[in-house]
Amino acid sequence: MAFSRSLVLFLTVSTQAAFGQEPAKTLPSLPAAPQQWLNSPPLTTEILKDKAVVFWYFEETCPTCEAKWPELLETAKKHEGEPVLFVAVCSGTSRPTVEQYLRRNKIDWPVLVDTDRSFEKASDVREISLQNIHQIKVLSGDGTFAEHGNFEIGEAADKVAPTGKWKIDPKEIPVALRPTWQQIEFGNFAPAAAVLKRNLASPKEDIKAGAEKLQGAVDAELQAAMTQASEAKSSGDTWKAYKTLMELPTRFKGYTLPATVGTDLKELKGSEGVKKELNADKALHVLKQKVSGGKFSPKSVQGQMEKFLEQYPDTEAAAEVQEALSRLQTAAPGTGPTPPTNQ
């Protein structure tokens, strides 16, 4: 089950509402759909926590941009072993076109295929085009997301790299296990499970020790998730507890989960708080499908959103609809009543 919260971007694109917004100071939500990523599984805010990241937004039809790739790739190599990640963002382009571009230029960075430009818009980046061929944003280890002052990626990397930190220092891991280390370091636990299990029984002491260190990191992440769910449940936030536990079977596929996960999920699903949120989540999905047809005017969309807020107050889905409604009204003031506060 996916609990995406993307209605603000979705409605922005679907209704073509042109509204201003404050520059992003935190990293916008990254797409979770695997088809939107190349050279990497989907990256998330949680995966990038404490990391330094250089985001390179580029125009793939620009010869100048294409000619810069040897320099860009060389810059990334200079920072190998440092807790800084280089991510390319290509907006308004189909996946097959981007795939061809990557092969032609031998690009191995994680690449976000931002076909509908939603991430570009959320990043507060001026539309990338032949008039604005590339732009840089940096994510610091403290979570600050900001535009870099010039177009020099080397300078951006030098500035932001010292702010990041590893969960596991790669220098402590044997070279043979570095690919597995990278998967675990960036939260991609499931694909690492089989290799990790095999190397925990390795006759080579350094390999076995490295595997044990990596397994310890996975165990710590799993325990942290269990603790988060337990604390949320104890505080009465059954929805947060439910969502946290629902992610575990997929996130930690191939590892042994605590026996209590199944029973806790069953108990939480029967709670009134979770029932309310699940119903609201289903209704939000229906609302998005209606808007995607493009048959409704912004005023009509606003009316449906206001009705949603009346039917599903004080839910996570309502918070998303409330934010989207406020932005649509900012874009077209006077087109509808002030949204309810649900207080």
Q: What is the mean pLDDT of each run of 10 residues along the chain (343 residues)?
A: 40 37 71 89 85 94 92 93 92 94 95 92 90 91 84 89 91 93 88 96 97 96 95 96 94 94 95 96 89 76 90 92 80 50 40
Q: Are 172 and 210 in contact (CB under 8 A)?
A: yes
**Residue that is written with structure tokens 């042109």 in the block:** 18
- pLDDT value at residue 331: 62
For the segment(s) 31-163, the CATH number from 3.40.50.300, 3.50.50.60, 3.40.640.10, 3.40.30.10 is 3.40.30.10
Question: What is the rounded CA–CA span in Å between residue 64 and residue 276?
Answer: 53
Q: Tokens for 214?
A: 């990596």
- pLDDT value at residue 301: 84
The DSSP-derived string for 107-158 is --S-EEEETT-HHHHHTTPPPPBTTB-EEEEEE-TTSBEEE-SSS-HHHHHH
- pLDDT value at residue 132: 85
Q: Tokens for 247?
A: 């992610």
Q: Tokens for 66?
A: 């294409």
The pTM of the full predicted model, rounded to 2 decimals, is 0.68
| Burial (Cβ within 10 Å: 0-12, 13-18, ≥19) of residue 120 | buried
- pLDDT value at residue 12: 40
- pLDDT value at residue 289: 84
- The domain locations on the chain are 1-22+271-343, 31-163, 170-270
- pLDDT value at residue 209: 97
Strands 84-91 and 145-147: unpaired
